[in-house]
Amino acid sequence: MSNIDIYLQYGISSDIAEDLLSKKLRISTIRKTSIKKLITNFNISENIARFIKIAVVRKKIDENTIYQLLNRNSYICCCCQGYKNKNYIIHHIIEYSKSQDNTYDNLAVLCPSCHDIAHSTHQYSLTMKLTSDQIRKSKYEWELAVEKNKVDKSSMNLDIYDADYINIKRIDELAYKLFNQTNNIQISKYLIDDKIINENGEYIYKNREITINHIESGDLINHYSNIFKHIISYFSPSIVNLDDIINKEIYNKTNYMCYYVGGLYGRSLEGNCTLLHFSRRKYVFNWILDNNYIISNTSAMRMKQRSIYIVYGIIRSVDYDEEKEQHIVDLRPYFIGMPTATINRTPKIRYIHNFIEKDDDR
């Protein structure tokens, strides 16, 4: 925990915290020092002196809660997204004096400007006040936006814990078409000996029999992970997140490289294949996997149940099933792994409803 975060635990803003730190004013010192001495000895304004004296007698917010809140909001105000002010403060949605509630659900990251508006007592204009419902809504939407941004960045960097599926034949074919060689990817003697690449780093472009054992090697997994990072980088201007096109726009994205992060359901098919799929509204997304490219038995087991995955592929076709009234999206899988960043898909109405219930209880 940083020194600034210690002040944030008491509802002191980041800019005031930096000033207090520069003056070596610890929380314990503030408690023992009178308002008059804070003003005269430490050159603090009367308003700030009175504010911090009240703040430091509160029960401090748990440091894990502070970390979660700041991380999920990217240290930025959830109401103005940092437009008004880059500094931030931990705000109690239901005032601390009324609730003494330091739980995550009752806290929001605001800038000092929005914080002042939230505490405004202006009686003549609703535009001069941020209500608790407005702050909750802004917090929910901003946290989703931050979360999605982290997922997008992580996805473009192929940040995964484990690879469960690598279709090396498709990756070979696509990489050969795009680059004709391994470029600056580190060359392993194993890959040369196995006749995957030649001594110049060029792909040996030929059909070869693939077995599960063929991709169990850590060298080979790392090699194809690096190759696929180059492929992602190549497609980065046009690669699409399926979450952004779960609507009729997807009909215009045939043959686009795409990715999806979320829960996928799996089941075995005839012909040594596995189906991974998910449904959203009237859209059904299907990836049919050749089991020869599944990395391990553990990977195969995960694919037979609901698992959180990041899956990269190409949109092959989109058709409408009139009988089921569903849009069926067929995708060609290239690379599947366990993502380091995921998205919370709790429906907004449920999230807000939880808050309302808590307020009613009070």
> What domains are defined for the chain?
3-150 (no CATH), 160-339 (2.40.50.110)
More confident residue, 195 or 89: 89
d(CA 235, CA 46): 57
Of 51, 122, 59, 114, which Cα lies nearest the Cα of 88? 114
Position 213 scores a pLDDT of 43
Flag whether pLDDT at 29 surpasses 50.
Answer: yes
* 289: Cβ contacts below 8 Å, ≥ 6 apart: 165, 167, 273, 274, 275, 276, 303, 333, 336
Position 201 scores a pLDDT of 59
Amino acid at 224: Y
Q: How confident is the model at residue 297 (pLDDT cuts 50, 70, 90)?
A: confident
Position 346 scores a pLDDT of 62
Cα–Cα distances (Å) from 153 to 83, 146, 156, 261, in that order, read: 22, 11, 5, 12
Q: What are the structure tokens assigned to 312, written together?
A: 């990269």
Phi, psi of 260 (to 5 degrees): -145, 135
Q: How confident is the model at residue 214 (pLDDT cuts 50, 70, 90)?
A: very low
Flag whether pLDDT at 138 surpasses 90.
Answer: yes
Flag whether pLDDT at 230 surpasses 70.
Answer: yes
d(CA 314, CA 310): 13
Flag whether pLDDT at 252 surpasses 80.
Answer: yes
Position 144 scores a pLDDT of 92
* 75: Cβ contacts below 8 Å, ≥ 6 apart: 88, 109
Q: How confident is the model at residue 279 (pLDDT cuts 50, 70, 90)?
A: very high
| Rounded (10°) CA dihedral 42, 48, 54, 59 | -90
Q: What is the model's pTM? A: 0.76
User: At 77, is the secondary structure helix, strand, or coil?
Assistant: coil
| Mean of pLDDT over the chain | 85
Judge whether 80 and 97 are in contact, CB under 8 Å.
no
Top mean-pLDDT range of 89-103, 163-177, 196-210: 89-103
Position 190 scores a pLDDT of 61
Judge whether 53 and 72 are in contact, CB under 8 Å.
no
Q: How confident is the model at residue 77 (pLDDT cuts 50, 70, 90)?
A: very high
